[in-house]
Amino acid sequence: MKSFSSQVKDEVLASVPSSQCCRRALLMGLMINAECGIGDAVYLRITGKELAPLVQRLLFEQFGREVTPEVTNCYGRSVAEFGFVSSKLAAALTELSDAQKTEQTLPFLKCKACGSAFCAGLLLSAARISDPSKESRLEFRISDPQRAMRTATFFTSRGNVPSISGRTELTSLLFRRTEDVEDVLAIGGASVSAMASMQQKLVRELRGEVNRKSNCEVKNIRRATSAATLQLEAIKKLRASGKFDLLSDELKETAILREEEPEMPLSELAQRHVPPISKSGLNHRMEKLLSAAEKIK
């Protein structure tokens, strides 16, 4: 069975944009972790062999580079490695890393749909998405801190503010609110997965409510059982000491009913009296029985 992350990728790959500006934005999202070397060299290492053909097509369409990736296996996962020279792409990636432009709009976003295409590229190349049945968590791992900041600004401008954490050699943009995770998935073209995340949130909340009620009931049962045990011990002590016969008729009736129904809740036990009494009245009688037992040395 495929993981939720794999399902998201499949959904995104099924709706690749057709307009040229959006396809460039998609490529920039896919290359968010690409490195620039000497002489306009560009190096990209991307996980998932299913992404390699898409990157190949987009590089040829957008920058005229016909590149064949080297696909290797790394700990059971296919990794595609691209290496080529492109002055235009190197310049675009360098501009994306410019610390002076972190608050500016990304230059390759030419139309309203380009933002969705860029987000789709990020989901394909840099996302780590938790199973929504367990938790709401979406993380983008970006090696360049300046690119991470510009990407954070991109999402913040859309109302989805990520938390930012710096680690060794990468920066993480983290979304923990279910609403933010759903929005980011929907922006990137994974609407079905966003809906699944929403449904799983409802299931988690329902399961949590059931567990809370169950725990509360268990605590109440334990509390009632403990109280009944103390009451029965008090009655036994009164009988053993000969003090039971000195009790009032009301207390005797209550004691005998408790002995007959050791597990019955007080609300039901109160109704067994003749005539029935209130729960608070029964509590008062039980306190008198306990007090009388405590006085016995």
The DSSP result for 242-269, as a single string, is: T-GGGS-HHHHHHHHHHHH-TT--HHHH
Q: Which segments of the chain does DSSP mark as H helices, in order?
A: 4-13, 20-30, 52-63, 87-96, 112-125, 145-156, 178-187, 191-241, 249-260, 266-271, 279-294
Angle in degrees, CA 222, 228, 229, rounded to 5: 90
Task: Give the end of a domain, one of 189, 209, 235.
Answer: 189
Mean pLDDT over 140-168 rounds to: 90
- C-alpha 222/C-alpha 263 separation (Å) is 11
Q: Which of 34-43, 74-83, 118-127, 172-181 has the lowest mean pLDDT?
A: 74-83
Q: Contact, 106 vs 21, CB < 8 A?
A: no
93 shares a domain with 135? yes
pLDDT at 25: 95
Question: Does 271 map to a domain?
Answer: yes
231 shares a domain with 147? no
What single-letter amino acid sits at 28?
A: M
What CATH number does the domain containing 18 carry?
3.10.28.10
How many Cβ atoms sit within 10 Å of the Cβ of residue 99? 9
163 shares a domain with 41? yes
- C-alpha 89/C-alpha 93 separation (Å) is 6
Question: Encoding tokens for residue 276?
Answer: 């029935």
Report pTM.
0.69
Q: What is the mean pLDDT of the chain?
A: 87
CA distances from 220 to 207, 223, 233, 255 (A): 20, 5, 20, 22
Q: What phi-psi label fits residue 76: left (phi over 0), alpha (psi between -120 and 50 degrees) or beta?
A: left
Q: Which of 22-26, 54-58, 76-80, 161-165 has the lowest mean pLDDT?
A: 76-80
128 shares a domain with 55? yes
Number of domains in the chain: 2
pLDDT at 272: 86
Task: Give the end of a domain, one of 189, 211, 246.
Answer: 189
180 shares a domain with 232? no
Question: Does 214 map to a domain?
Answer: no
Question: Does 151 map to a domain?
Answer: yes
162 shares a domain with 99? yes
135 shares a domain with 12? yes
84 shares a domain with 162? yes
Which phi and psi (to 5°) does residue 62 adopt?
A: -90, -30
- C-alpha 186/C-alpha 196 separation (Å) is 11
277 shares a domain with 149? no
In which domain, by residue range, is 155 found? Answer: 4-189
How many Cβ atoms sit within 10 Å of the Cβ of residue 225? 12
Q: List 44's β-bridge partners, or say none.
A: 82
Question: Does 199 map to a domain?
Answer: no
Question: Encoding tokens for residue 247?
Answer: 């009790």
142 shares a domain with 77? yes
Express as a percent the part of the chain with pLDDT over 70.
Answer: 96
Question: Encoding tokens for residue 159?
Answer: 């109302």
Please check the confidence at residue 202 and state whether its pLDDT lies above 70: no
**3-state secondary structure at position 84:** strand
14 shares a domain with 147? yes
- C-alpha 196/C-alpha 5 separation (Å) is 12
Question: Does 177 map to a domain?
Answer: yes
Q: How far is CA 218 from the centre of its chain?
A: 27
129 shares a domain with 12? yes
Task: Give the end of a domain, one of 172, 189, 206.
Answer: 189
